[in-house]
Chains A and B, each alone.
Chain A
Amino acid sequence: MLLSDVSSSHGLFRRLHLDPPLLGGLLLLAAVGLVILFSAVSQDEAQLWRQVTRLAVSFGVMLLFAQIAPDTLLRWTHWIFAIGLIMLVAVLLFGDTGKGAQRWLRLGSIRFQPSELMKLAVPMMVAWYLAEKPLPPRLGHLAIATLIALVPTLLIARQPDLGTALLIATSGIFVLLFAGLQWRVIGSAALLAIPASWLLWTFGMHDYQRRRVLTFINPENDPLGAGYHIIQSKIAIGSGGTYGKGWLNGTQSHLEFLPERHTDFIFAVFGEEFGFMGIVLLLSLYLFIVLRGLYIATQAQDSFSRLLAGALSMTFLIYIFVNIGMVSGLLPVVGVPLPLISFGGSSMVTLMAGFGILMSIHTHRKLLKD
């Protein structure tokens, strides 16, 4: 069975603290990503090699995180979170500006995005906090846990980086859900979300963010401006049909109608060239990875590991859902890359670090009598 624990039978993987099914899935995904990226960058090999380098670094980071035992991670958690928080404040005070948002912190020659660190630190911190408490959490603990997730989320939303803020909030929420958040609380939160979203719309959003939402609701209102991305991306996907136009044959991408085709909108290239069949296979691969993550969570031996593994797996799912949802016109355009396929470095490193943590959780289990 795919989901069964086979790592024990492979001495080398066990010694490297790697989970072969998860590793296999990720490698396959990376390979698919390189294939479609080659097409999306118009067969520019230099770009392809840059991505290969990033993948190599990311897998290295994964290997590194796999070596850190969950206990050690638990002890570091509040320090990592604190450092992350300080850096987020620093970004708001004197960060570098790129594409109209302050996201970068410059340390010497290295540019660093503290929000990436928080993608791991927030679920770790919430899991750390709740793991000590009896579960399901009481309201007081819940409030503190919510605060832990909310503060960095708001700081990142201020940059503004809506996509990352959303992912970080999501990762915190998933920890709460796995911790056994009561249904009545979930229900009340859902009811509260309605006035909250109105407040967010009125006071919390930048003009460009409002425009994105409006454009999402009716892209044809602004076919050459903000709506252009969505219209062209829907055309690319839709024109792919069942079997696609074939690798390297996508006209929407190669004739440059599709913007951001090698980064956030790479899924449209995939849909155009490989069609619905290709998409079914790709989503199956993603599903396998998410399921393996959830399986690892269920096999984890302590609350911290369980909550963290569950939240990381589901955050990965949200990445996929938000990216494909936005590219296919289901969701507004927020800057979320397609994991392991979109061209770009920092978010991939974070993701792979997360998978390193998952592997670590799975391979550092102590043998217990059941």
Chain B
Amino acid sequence: MRRRVTLLKNPSRERQLFQVRAIIALLLTLLLLLILLGRLFYLQRLQHDHYITLSTNNRVSVQPLAPTRGLIYDRNGVILAQNIPTYSLELVRERVEEMEWTLEEIGKLIQVEEDDLNRFRRELQRRRRFEAVPLRFRLDDKEVALIAVNLHRLPGVEINSSLTRHYPQGELTAHTVGYVGRINENELTSLDPTNYAATHYVGKIGVERSYEGLLHGEIGHQQVETNARGRVQRILERTPPRPGKNLYLNIDTALQRVAHQAFGEERGALVAIEPQSGAILSLVSVPGYDPNIFVNGVPLSTYEKLSTDRDQPLFNRALRGQYPPGSTIKPFIGLAGLELNQITTLDSVSCKGWFSLKNDDHRYRDWKKIGHGEIGLTRAIVESCDVFFYELSLKLGIDQISTFLAQFGFGAKTGSDLGGEASGLLPSREWKRRVRKEPWFPGETLITSIGQGFNLATPLQLGSATATLALRGRHMRPLVVREIEEPGSEQRTPLPPTLLAQLPVVDEGNWWRIERAMAKVVHDPNGTARGISHGLGYQMAGKTGTSQVFTLGQDAEYEAEELAKRLRDHALFIAFAPVDKPRIAVALIVENGGSGGAVAAPIARQVIDRYLQDNPVTEERKTDVAK
């Protein structure tokens, strides 16, 4: 009974039931919409700042802009380092239809090395689809043309140009200007990551390295809006990069060329300095190399060939070559004898071709077996008598010799702005005890006085010492950079000459006597460099030297290579001219050249001739010099 009743439909009750349910549905509707509104209120009002930051970070990115590297000129405005456009072949993945086919086609047109292909494939993985990935760098004109005419059938292939460092003088200035190369991992840690964010090259050696801070310039930035795939939509803000400073060097390219050619096939180094300013007019190390091959990474085979070449073209002999100065040290020892009142020019010794110490039967030989006879200081310099200096050295003693020579910069880096130089070696009692753990022996004083034994000097040191001697004690810091130019301004700031020290002068006459003796080396019929006096239109002071190869320095690598095959002495020569108003000082070495007078001196003459001819004394210059 009851069951039947419940089965009957009751329209009005059902209608009521529905009304209640409809109201519940209405409440549910309001509840759900309020939940949504609450959530959106939370996101849009309460968390707005957070999300607006995220949204900005999403779309805005900062791109670094690399500055243009400063240019390097010589003293006359000849360009030594420049930025030239080079062409690279690049592929954009999203526009390339068939990658393998395209690579094959390119391979038919131009040469693509296996190395290039491997690097390309690796980079392709990393880059975004719309970014250009380089396949080949430094296309030559012919390759550019070959690709250009085929571009229409190679979609996604592009030829792009970028600036690459180029050294038009090549080998001539390689050891001075140096070169830049791609930044390596070690350098990454030491360079300022902000300023180098967009830079691919850094100075590796030479001026390019020592003046990196000025040449590089300051990075610029642009804020760009990118889409989700990283493609740039527009530039929002731009701070342009500030290009690096241009440098004008003291180097005279023409002089550099003369020196290079004068060396011919010989190995060696030459440094020419303007004594008044310390300006390095020429710095030559031969053989040289082409710095341009290092800019974009030198192929391993080429590098191995260069670095294992027994002539060591990569070795900067002028800065890092350490040679016994040989007899070129004699004018300095002689000056020490005079200034320290141990001798006068009237004193003489008897040279019988050898010398020995008391209680010792070892004979210290003179280069002239029959001896020079009765000989004074002047002739001892002119004819390069060894016995005279043996005797003098005993009067001076090693302590006075060391101290006196140190004033000229021997045994220490010159502090040149070129950097990377070796310090040479000036032996002393203290040094020997400290390093060799041995006392100083008197015989070592003897050979020190003729520039042998422990004595080592770099050509730059020798040149700087010669310049100091020429200026009677004014010791200037050797400088390779002359002026610094703000790019585009034409305004050059000269690098001021730096006086390192004014040596104490006891008697100007002593200096004059040494100068006269050195002049006679060239101009006297008995002078060891008399061979270069023919037709000389000015007075030149000089001193020859030979240094024995088997005593050659500490550079074991160098030594092992050379010793077995090349036992001839090194030929050295130092000079300055004109004697009364010196405008150029030169020091040079010809490795295994034999005789300083016959081989080294003529090179110096050619360089000095050229310099004095190119730079005649004007009234203005005269007053300059006087100042």
Contact = CB atoms under 8 A, between A and B. Distances in A.
A168 interface: no
A240 B228 CA distance: 18
A283 B37 contact: yes
Contacts of A219: none
B122 interface: no
B375 to A, nearest CB: 89
A238 interface: yes
Contacts of B63: none
B33 A252 contact: no
Interface residues of A, number: 51
B25 A255 contact: no
Interface in B15-39: 15, 17-19, 21-22, 24-26, 28-30, 32-33, 35-37, 39
Interface stretch (A88-96, A98-106, A110-118, A317-325): A317-325
Interface string B50-82: 111011001100000000000000000000000
Nearest to B38: A330
A30 B507 CA distance: 108
A257 B59 contact: yes
Contact of A234 (B17, B43, B225, B233): B43
Interface in A215-249: 232, 234-242
B45 interface: yes
Contacts of B433: none
A138 B36 CA distance: 35
B1 interface: no
A242 to B, nearest CB: 6
A298 B41 CA distance: 33
Nearest to A272: B55
A177 B27 CA distance: 14
Given A135-B17, A178-B25, A238-B50, A255 B58 contact: yes
A276 B43 CA distance: 9
A261 to B, nearest CB: 10
B226 interface: yes
A136 B48 CA distance: 48
Nearest to A180: B17
B25 A238 contact: no
A283 B8 CA distance: 42
Nearest to A275: B44
A16 interface: no
A240 B44 contact: yes
B161 interface: no
Nearest to B32: A321
A328 B18 contact: no
Contact of A303 (B14, B52, B54, B58): B14
B506 interface: no
A268 to B, nearest CB: 10
A83 B220 CA distance: 70
A256 to B, nearest CB: 4
Contact of B18 (A232, A255, A298): A298
Contacts of B36: 283, 320-321, 324-325, 328, 330
A60 to B, nearest CB: 28
Interface in A298-334: 298, 303, 306-307, 310, 313-314, 317, 320-321, 324-325, 328-330
Interface residues of B, number: 44
A273 B177 CA distance: 59
A291 interface: yes
A286 B58 CA distance: 32
Contacts of B44: 237-238, 240-242, 271, 275-276, 279
B18 A238 contact: no
Contacts of A178: 18, 21-22, 25
B45 A241 contact: yes
A330 B55 contact: no
A251 B8 CA distance: 62
B52 A294 contact: no
Nearest to B36: A324
- Residue in B32, B35, B40, B45 with the greatest tally of chain A CB atoms within 10 Å: B40
Given A135-B9, A235-B54, A238-B50, A310 B21 contact: yes
A134 B55 contact: no
A303 B17 CA distance: 11
A266 interface: no
A17 B21 CA distance: 27
A325 B39 CA distance: 8
Nearest to B55: A239
A235 B24 CA distance: 35
A252 B227 CA distance: 9
A251 B37 CA distance: 23
B21 A180 contact: yes
Given A271-B40, A313-B25, 17 more contacts: A134-B9, A134-B14, A177-B24, A180-B17, A238-B52, A239-B51, A271-B44, A276-B45, A283-B36, A286-B33, A291-B26, A294-B25, A297-B22, A314-B29, A320-B36, A324-B40, A325-B36
25 contacts: A177-B25, A178-B18, A178-B25, A232-B58, A237-B43, A238-B54, A238-B55, A239-B54, A241-B52, A242-B45, A242-B48, A252-B58, A255-B227, A257-B59, A257-B228, A271-B44, A276-B41, A279-B37, A291-B29, A294-B25, A294-B26, A298-B19, A317-B28, A320-B33, A329-B43
Q: Which 3 residue pairs spanning A and B have beta carbons closest together? A: A238-B51, A239-B55, A255-B227
